[in-house]
Amino acid sequence: MDIKLDITDRSEILRYLGYRGSEITEVVENTIQEGIALSNKLIKIGMTYRFLNIIERENGIEVEGEHFTLTGKAIKKHLKGYDRAMFFCLTIGSAFDREVEKQMVKNPTLAVILNACGIQAVEKACDALQLKAEEETGMKTGVRFSPGYGDLPLSTQKDFIRILNTERLAGVTINENYLMNPRKTVTAVCGLKKED
Amino acid sequence: MNLFDELIILDGAMGTELVKKNAPMGHLPEELNITHPELIKEVHRSYLEKGTKLIYTCSFGANAYKCKGSKYSVPEIITASVKNAREAAEPYGAMVGLSMGTIGDILEPFGNLKFDDAYEMYKEMVVAGEKAGADCLVFETQTDLLEVKAGVLAAKENTHLPIFVTMTFESNGRTFNGTLVEAMAITLTALKVDAIGVNCSLGPDELLPFVKRMREVSDLPLIVKPNAGLPDPATGAYDMGPEEFAEKMVPFLEMGVSMVGGCCGTAPEYIEALVKKAKGFKPVKPERNNKSYLSSGREFVDVTRVHVVGERINPTGKKLFKEALLNHDIDYVKARAMEQAEAGAEILDVNVGLPKIDEEGLMVEVVKELQSVVDLPLQIDSSSAAVIEKALRVYNGKALVNSVNGEEKVLDTILPIAAKYGAAVIGLTMDSDGIPETAEKRVAIAGRIVKKCAEYGIEPKDIYIDCLTLAASVQQKEVRETLNSIREVKARYGVHTVLGVSNISFGLPKREYINTTFLTLAMEAGLDLPIINPNNAAMMGAVDAYHVLWNIDTSGNHYVEKYAAIQEQEKNADKGAAAATVSGELTIGDYIKKGLGDSAAKAVRALLETREPLDIVNNELIPALDRVGAEFEKGVIFLPQLLSSATAAESGFNVIKEYMAAHNAATVSKGKIVLATVKGDVHDIGKNIVKTILENYGYTVIDLGKDVPPERVVEAAREHQVKLVGLSALMTTTVASMEETIKMIRDAGLDCKVMVGGAVLTEEFAMQIGADYYSKDAKQSADIAKLVLGA
């Protein structure tokens, strides 16, 4: 599976940047265009996903055969009625982080714009991945849910990283505070079921 | 072990075989070495039976980071893994390699793993591995060359075992973190490991070009351990069967690689097929190539034409640079590096020597930070052997050391260090008697340097002789001696040459005429690496023109592309300037509002003719920023616009700074502020935005970076006697270290206020953890600074 992305949604990027409708100066407009072009060049999607059986338990949702339970009320509610789920990790790669770091010194305006492009890119890519998965399986995917949402502990990130073998397959690692590297990375689970 | 004698067949995948045998794969499969040794041995035997001659232990993730929480220690797991492999291998007369994967955390500055900690973790593994009886050490599936270097140094400094390194490349010829195939091969060849190669991520077809590229730049034995083709991400199944896999391995065998095996998706049948195909093949020892390579972790230079060394990272004679170093302004240094890279430098000289400065600490930090933003190889420039060694340790590539000279003592101190880390060296043709006047004497000193280098195993191609430039205004007749020495040392010793050029015009008017002409003469004499200011267009032009005239820049492609664009730009700039004059009447405030940095700088320059610098700062730049800031607060403009105005103001502010430095005035600063992203947190975009704004309000920011331990904040606040510290944290998990930092500042009894900010903070929470101020955005931090330090 291959995901091709084109980050051209200027209005989405403006939304991430907290834009509230004022006049945009020429310099900033040019920088937005530069950011979009640069993003399209830098983004290198890495991803890994698995379809797994899930079982509802007292304390949360058990992932079958993986020594791993997603704990909490929120995830129970979120995955209610599903017995299968897609687990995935998706990143836009480390070159992007490096460029933001660089531009923070050289051109901070471009750095924050790139950052917004990155957020948009990773979200869009996740949408695309879910669509592809639906085509592949002929099933419907639910809304994605990530470690740290609701009462699902952020530490669950470690288990996502492990069961998805993200280090080898997508180049994604995690530190002791559960921050992922590259920075623009999403791990998530979404329910999977036959269309009603 | 002579790795060119016999082809060695390696094993295939371990993990999938364990799964096939229904092994309980928990959080750490390496524990199976202790809990289920028979299973592990079975997998080993399944490969040995098929003809594997070197098996890898099941210890891929057995490092201190990944083993946290295991009931077994790292040495226990390592020892068991070697024991299992040994017992399985013995009956087959096979060897055992200790497998080591990546640590699993990212090195600074992108992550929080410290180089020294990575070193210690690998040390623990290799020492245990050697003690348990491994035959060699294998770093595999590696993605970060710098992490590999930590491992290789740990291995070399603590064991006697052969070292093999294989890295994992993506289809673009880079690892996930950006390490380039050639950069890896050059760096590890210089570090004198025993074999290098590739494993995992791709199949044989995709890896073949990478292995060929390695062979181009390295004469080390090669290792190839591909996956069984490409995986289906959903099922994890690979697309090649055993026969096809073996068939696709033939080109590697024909190339003469030394070791072949398989990685993900390969099973014993694959190795069986491979053994059949490999019959009759032997490794081929390559011819030595005589190129000198320099590299970073991401790019490399093969010195086959003139390459410019940028000289701007050096405080000598540069007031603002000195000030930046004293204020620990690493961003200033980074900006100088990027500027030179953009101007066409291909190597960067790095010198941070200043009296009363911790040169060792600063050099290490600067090297680490520079390699996070520029791709160019670095030239480590210091008069201290200790500084050079520290820098070479953390340098992610093959560096050039600046410098040694003909003095025995200097040679015997620096050369062993250069040799150990595989760096090339610059040798100055001078000794304790100074710089000889004649070419003959300088050549003789070069000869002594070359001879000494040979004793330490440094080849002539990696020696860069500097025949030294003397001022034409003082020693006019010796100019020729320098040029003649360049010719002679190259002819006689087969070395490369390097030369600082601009000294030639010292004391003369219109220095550029003299400099460019001398540079051209030197290049004609055989100069390889001129050390110059790449921002000087005439000097860069001379180099580019030289490449055209000597038919090195074939068809003048590079020249035409570069200068046609510049010519076009100049034309447009003239038009733009004319238009600006016509529209006229724009104030500095307008330029700042529109984010026009160049125009703001020009306007400031014009004002400086009639007004005092501080007057301009207080009555033009700051009020303009205030107006923009107020609009941001009211929601009229958004963050990019605030930043764009702030950077335009910065351009104006820089003109003032340069003016004051040139007129020997005290620096303009409204006071110092320490900023840090707290320990554990590596997201610092918020802190950096605050920094940009504060600097443009005229405050000096001591930026400690990210993942900063509390002690370091206290130390900096004390050392710089600041009245205000700003702390940033992005994650709920790191707010605790923010609280700890505030507490430590209070306990130290420092008379300073603390402001905090970050996505997860609120005013209430900020007060709860003991901060004096909560800053909701960058603009507010400037207001707080004004309150605490005065406007």
Q: Using one digit for the tens of pLDDT, what is the confidence trace for B310-363? A: 999 999 989 889 989 988 899 999 999 999 999 999 999 999 999 889 999 999
Residue of B100, B342, B685 to mutate when probing chain A, most A C-beta within 10 A: B685
CA distance B76 to B34: 8
**Number of domains chain A is built from:** 1
CA distance A34 to B590: 23
Query: B73 at the A interface (CB within 8 A)?
Result: no
Query: A130 at the B interface (CB within 8 A)?
Result: no
User: Would A185 be classed as within a structural domain?
Assistant: yes
Q: DSSP code of A100?
A: H
- Mark yes or no for CB contact A112/B640 under 8 Å: yes
- The whole domain housing A70 covers 10-194
Q: Which residues are bridge partners to A63 per DSSP?
A: A54, A68
User: Would A2 be classed as within a structural domain?
Assistant: no
Give the gap in angstroms from C-alpha B703 to the nearest C-alpha of chain A.
12
User: Are the beta carbons of B446 and B485 closer than 8 angstroms?
Assistant: yes
* Residue B703 token pair: 């930026």
Query: B635 at the A interface (CB within 8 A)?
Result: yes
Query: A141 at the B interface (CB within 8 A)?
Result: no
- Mark yes or no for CB contact B640/A95 under 8 Å: no
* Residue B513 token pair: 């005429």
Give pLDDT tens digits for A148-174. 999 999 999 999 999 999 999 999 999
Give pLDDT tens digits for B547-561. 999 999 999 999 999
- Mark yes or no for CB contact A20/B176 under 8 Å: no
Q: Is B569 left (phi over 0), alpha (psi -120 to 50) or beta?
A: alpha
A-contacting residues in B 403-442 (Cβ below 8 Å):
none
> What residues of A are in contact with residue B681 (Cβ under 8 Å)?
177, 179
Euclidean distance between the first and final Cα of chain A, in Å? 26
A-contacting residues in B 639-698 (Cβ below 8 Å):
639-641, 643-644, 646-648, 680-683, 685, 688-689, 692
pLDDT tier at B576, thresholds 50, 70, 90: low
Among A9-13, B408-412, B565-569, B701-705, top mean pLDDT goes to B408-412
> What residues of A are in contact with residue B675 (Cβ under 8 Å)?
none
Chains A–B, number of C-beta pairs less than 8 Å apart: 148
Whether residue B581 is predicted with pLDDT greater than 50 in this model: the reply is no
User: Would A1 be classed as within a structural domain?
Assistant: no
Query: B104 at the A interface (CB within 8 A)?
Result: yes
Query: B623 at the A interface (CB within 8 A)?
Result: no
Give me the interface pTM, i.e. the ipTM: 0.91
- Mark yes or no for CB contact B644/A25 under 8 Å: yes
What's the one-letter identity of residue A35? G
> What residues of B are in contact with residue A97 (Cβ under 8 Å)?
110
Which chain A residue is nearest to residue B176, measuring alpha carbons?
A171
A-contacting residues in B 748-787 (Cβ below 8 Å):
none
Residue of B643, B675, B689, B701 to mutate when probing chain A, most A C-beta within 10 A: B643
User: What does pLDDT average to over chain B?
Assistant: 93
- Mark yes or no for CB contact B112/A175 under 8 Å: yes
Going from the C-alpha of B190 to that of each of A136, B396, B423, B463, the distances in angstroms are: 48, 12, 7, 13
Query: A41 at the B interface (CB within 8 A)?
Result: no
Compare CB distances from A22 to B231, B233, B638 and report the shortest one's residue: B638
Residue of B177, B235, B340, B632 to mutate when probing chain A, most A C-beta within 10 A: B177
CA atoms within 13 A on the CB side of B662: 8
User: Would A68 be classed as within a structural domain?
Assistant: yes
pLDDT tier at B583, thresholds 50, 70, 90: low
Answer with the residue of higher pLDDT: B174 or B692.
B174
Spell out the SS3 assignment of B657-716: HHHHHHCCCCCCCCCEEEEEEECCCCCCHHHHHHHHHHHHCCCEEEECCCCECHHHHHHH
- Mark yes or no for CB contact A175/B113 under 8 Å: yes
User: Would A170 be classed as within a structural domain?
Assistant: yes
Query: A111 at the B interface (CB within 8 A)?
Result: yes
> What residues of B are in contact with residue A44 (Cβ under 8 Å)?
170, 172
Query: B76 at the A interface (CB within 8 A)?
Result: no
CA distance B319 to B652: 18
Give pLDDT tens digits for B526-540. 999 999 999 999 999
Give pLDDT tens digits for B183-238. 999 999 999 999 999 999 899 999 999 999 999 999 999 999 999 998 876 677 89
Query: A109 at the B interface (CB within 8 A)?
Result: yes
- Of B696, B674, B703, B727, the closest CA to residue B629 belongs to B696
* Residue B470 token pair: 């003397």
B-contacting residues in A 152-181 (Cβ below 8 Å):
154, 162, 167-171, 173-179, 181
Give pLDDT tens digits for B402-455. 999 999 999 999 999 999 999 999 999 999 999 999 999 999 999 999 999 999
Which chain B residue is nearest to residue A155, measuring alpha carbons?
B733
Question: Can you give the pLDDT at residue B582?
Answer: 45
Q: DSSP code of B427?
A: E
Residue ranges and CATH numbers for the domains of chain B are 8-278 (3.20.20.330), 293-552 (3.20.20.20), 588-662 (1.10.1240.10), 672-789 (3.40.50.280)
User: Would A95 be classed as within a structural domain?
Assistant: yes
A-contacting residues in B 212-251 (Cβ below 8 Å):
231, 233-234, 236
Going from the C-alpha of A46 to that of each of A1, A118, A126, B300, the distances in angstroms are: 11, 14, 11, 26
Residue of A68, A91, A101 to mutate when probing chain B, most B C-beta within 10 A: A101
Give the 3-state secondary structure of residue B498: strand
- Mark yes or no for CB contact B640/A168 under 8 Å: no
> What residues of B are in contact with residue A94 (Cβ under 8 Å)?
110, 176-178
- Mark yes or no for CB contact B643/A112 under 8 Å: yes
At which residue do the structure tokens 């079975």 appear? B42
Query: A183 at the B interface (CB within 8 A)?
Result: yes
> What residues of B are in contact with residue A50 (Cβ under 8 Å)?
234, 236
Give the gap in angstroms from C-alpha B734 to the nearest C-alpha of chain A.
7
- Mark yes or no for CB contact B688/A48 under 8 Å: no
pLDDT tier at B471, thresholds 50, 70, 90: very high
Query: A47 at the B interface (CB within 8 A)?
Result: yes
- Mark yes or no for CB contact B596/A27 under 8 Å: yes
Compare CB distances from B334 to A25, A100, A105 and report the shortest one's residue: A105
Q: Kindly tell me the burial class for residue B570, based on how many C-beta atoms sit within 10 Å of its own C-beta (0-12, 13-18, 19 or more).
A: exposed
Query: B342 at the A interface (CB within 8 A)?
Result: no
User: Would A156 be classed as within a structural domain?
Assistant: yes
Question: Can you give the pLDDT at residue B496?
Answer: 98
At which residue do the structure tokens 């849910």 appear? A145
CA atoms within 13 A on the CB side of B260: 35
Residue ranges of chain A with per-residue pLDDT less than 70: 1-2, 196
Q: Could you write out the DSSP letters of every residue in B193-220?
A: -SEEEEESSS-HHHHHHHHHHHHHH--S
CA distance B507 to B417: 37
CB atoms within 10 A of CB B535: 16
User: Are the beta carbons of B789 and B761 closer than 8 angstroms?
Assistant: no
Query: B338 at the A interface (CB within 8 A)?
Result: yes
Query: A97 at the B interface (CB within 8 A)?
Result: yes
Query: B16 at the A interface (CB within 8 A)?
Result: no
- Mark yes or no for CB contact B178/A98 under 8 Å: yes
B243-275 burial, b if ≥16 CB within 10 A, otherwise e? ebbbebbeebbebbbbbbbbbbbbbbbbbbbbb
User: Would A76 be classed as within a structural domain?
Assistant: yes
Whether residue B579 is predicted with pLDDT greater than 80 in this model: the reply is no
CA distance B638 to B413: 57
Question: Can you give the pLDDT at residue A131?
Answer: 93
Q: Could you write out the DSSP letters of every residue in B153-166?
A: HHHHHH--S-EEEE
* Residue B759 token pair: 């996505």
Give the gap in angstroms from C-alpha B573 to the nearest C-alpha of chain A.
16
* CATH number of domain containing A78: 3.40.109.40
CA dihedral B767, B771, B772, B773 (to 10 degrees): -80
- Mark yes or no for CB contact A173/B689 under 8 Å: no
Give pLDDT tens digits for B602-642. 999 999 999 988 888 888 988 898 898 888 888 888 989 98
- Mark yes or no for CB contact A101/B373 under 8 Å: yes
